Structure 1
């Protein structure tokens, strides 16, 4: 006739096993969910740390580049100053060389003029000796040696 329907006491007996099974499954789901949340939190925190470190590294690189640019600018400024000094010094030395050359040319001209004058004097004396027919004594003194 009617199929046997479980009585409530039988349900009570089956409920603790199901509850324990469900509790284990729930614990497993919760622990899996917790592990997932913990892993997500860990990844988020690691990303934050990486981003913070990258920002600091970027600041350090920017600082280094700005300092290096400042030093390069100073170096170029000093190089330009030295190039100007060098150019002025070279010009000064070239002017000195030009002055020395000019003085040397003047001295050469004076020597040539003195040479010309002395040669003229010798020529005039020689003409005088020829007119008189007299031989200079200095030449004869050499022959008497």
Structure 2
């Protein structure tokens, strides 16, 4: 019971101090004319009794819950965005790896095709070289045959003493 008396004494002394002080709890009035009324101030827990103090506590609790909810929702939105951004980053990395693998496969295919074409070109060059050698050999053989014919004809002309018919056609012989 002694505690209740101490609290009531404190309550009474605070009320008397507020009344005796020159601090006004009402907003100052402007002399310039009608102005929009300011929002109502928080009621002092000493003026309205126990219910006013309880209302303030309930209001503050409600505001704290709203603020906590707001922070929670912001955090959830941040986490959701972070998760989606991470998923997009992973997707991008996967796609890049697939594209690089495709590019590497294409490069390997190109190298294989290049080697095949190089081999074909070498074979064609070898065929051309072989054909050229055959033509040279044919010309050398023909040259040898022509030289033998010329030598036989020259021997015949020497033996008979006649002149060849195609010799110096431009001179009339």
The alpha carbon displacement at 1:125 in A equals 1.4
Q: Which residue of 2 aligns with 1:77?
A: 105
Higher helix share: 1
SS in 2 for 1:116: helix
Confirm or deny that 1:51 pairs with 2:79: yes
The alpha carbon displacement at 1:24 in A equals 5.2
Superposition pairs of residues 1-145 of structure 1, within 5 angstroms: 18-20=46-48, 27-28=55-56, 30-139=58-167, 141-144=169-172
The alpha carbon displacement at 1:31 in A equals 3.8
Using the size of structure 2 for normalisation, the TM-score is 0.62
Q: In terms of mean alpha carbon deviation, does 123-132 or 93-102 score higher?
A: 123-132
Q: In terms of mean alpha carbon deviation, does 87-96 or 21-30 score higher?
A: 21-30
Number of residue pairs matched?
Answer: 131
Distance 1:39 1:48 in 2: 14
Q: 1:66 to 1:143 in 2, by over 3 A?
A: same
Unmatched 5+ stretches in structure 1: 1-10
Distance 1:138 1:109 in 2: 28
Distance 1:67 1:140 in 2: 86
What RMSD over aligned residues (CA atoms) do the two structures have, in Å? Answer: 2.7
Using the size of structure 1 for normalisation, the TM-score is 0.73
Larger relative CO (CA 8 A, sep 6+): 1 or 2?
Answer: 2
Q: Could you list the per-position Cα deviations for residues 57-87 of structure 1 after superposition, in whole angstroms to 9, with x for gaps in the alignment?
A: 2112212221231232123213212221221
